[in-house]
Amino acid sequence: AQSVTQLGSHVSVSEGALVLLRCNYSSSVPPYLFWYVQYPNQGLQLLLKYTSAATLVKGINGFEAEFKKSETSFHLTKPSAHMSDAAEYFCAVKNTGNQFYFGTGTSLTVIP
């Protein structure tokens, strides 16, 4: 079975600072990789997904993620945090059988 590890259940950054949320996956072959964001009292919304076309993936709201096969990582970054980025972020893997596996989530706090 696939597994997804998100290091850091809580991350705090100052407004304007770099956001880095870590995600590592276990897979013998590169799976399908996704980042989702969950705002309070809402469902999960897709931020970005990895396609084999490029290792650096750009998503919505200025977020991007880099796929590193050698490190089995898919870390999420944003150069400058905004107050509206405060949310829960989930990394997810989908296997070839169309099943999704989610990390335990990282709660991002942005300090004014």
Q: Does 51 bind other proteins (CB under 8 A)?
A: yes
Helix (H) and strand (E) counts in the chain: 0, 12
CB of 17 to other proteins, least distance (A): 25
User: For other proteins, which is the closer residue by CB, 62 or 100?
Assistant: 100
Strands in 1-112 per DSSP E:
3-5, 10-14, 19-21, 24-26, 32-38, 44-49, 56-58, 64-68, 73-78, 87-94, 100-102, 106-111
User: For other proteins, which is the closer residue by CB, 43 or 112?
Assistant: 43
User: Could you say which residues in the range 62-91 bind other proteins, by CB under 8 A?
Assistant: 90
The contact set with other proteins (CB under 8 A) reads: 6, 9, 32, 34, 36, 41-46, 49-51, 90, 92, 94, 96-105
